[in-house]
Homo-oligomer: A and B are copies of this chain.
């Protein structure tokens, strides 16, 4: 895996400017895909000068990696209520329902998640692929930790392959989402989450 780009030590004002740039890039990429967004578009949308932007990001590549890190953190940050604790069947169901609801609010759109970025970048951009892989593995481990807590409390049978279940749930989420975005209907996402959660529940004690 590659090292994620490390933000320099920033003043609060510098941090706010950097955040504004990454936020603008994220919104534009959600609309147009990575390929459809130029550094100049991001600069204009963020309302910063070229030299300001260049101070924080010396290339489009650096900007894309910051967007990936932001999107990975947005589901993984411990303060994030959606996914902070996935250590019960109810919590897993609530997480799935929240994700489905967000997808529905977006009218089936929403193309700046890790899965869409992976579809666009994994084949062509090795550094971004490494960052995306890190994001997915952190996300998988978060699901895995929840399942392990359930097993340790005796709610899942010891023979359950938790690594397999965690990957399966993440894959169902990603695959359901890309189908929902493409057919503009949440039904595939609902189906994928229902099936995988039912499978996990089949290991309940």
Taking beta carbons and an 8 Å cutoff, which residues of A are in contact with B?
Answer: 30-36, 109-112, 115-125, 129, 132-133, 136-137, 140, 163-179, 181-184, 187-192, 194-196, 198-199, 202
Cα of A194 to Cα of B169 in the assembled complex, Å: 11
Specify which of A119, A170, A196 lies most central, judged by the most chain B CB atoms within 10 Å of its CB: A119
CB <8 Å contact, A175 and B171: yes
Specify which of A34, A111, A117, A183 lies most central, judged by the most chain B CB atoms within 10 Å of its CB: A183
Q: What B residues does A163 contact at CB under 8 A?
A: 187, 191
Q: Count identical subunits in the complex.
A: 2
Q: Would you list the 10 A-B pairs with minimal beta carbon distance, nearest first?
A: A119-B119, A175-B175, A35-B35, A111-B123, A168-B195, A171-B175, A171-B192, A167-B191, A174-B175, A120-B120
CB <8 Å contact, A171 and B172: yes
Q: What B residues does A124 contact at CB under 8 A?
A: 31-33, 35-36, 111
Q: What B residues does A183 contact at CB under 8 A?
A: 133, 136-137
Cα of A121 to Cα of B31 in the assembled complex, Å: 10
A81 to chain B, nearest CB (A): 24
Q: What B residues does A184 contact at CB under 8 A?
A: 129, 133
Q: What B residues does A187 contact at CB under 8 A?
A: 163, 167
Cα of A171 to Cα of B190 in the assembled complex, Å: 10
- When the two chains form the complex, which single residue of B167, B176, B179, B188 contacts A179, counting CB atoms closer than 8 Å? B167
Cα of A115 to Cα of B192 in the assembled complex, Å: 15
- When the two chains form the complex, which single residue of B32, B109, B168, B178 contacts A194, counting CB atoms closer than 8 Å? B168
Residue of B at shortest CB range from A119? B119
A159 to chain B, nearest CB (A): 13
Cα of A184 to Cα of B132 in the assembled complex, Å: 11
CB <8 Å contact, A188 and B170: yes
Q: What B residues does A122 contact at CB under 8 A?
A: 111, 116, 178, 181-182
Q: What B residues does A133 contact at CB under 8 A?
A: 182-184
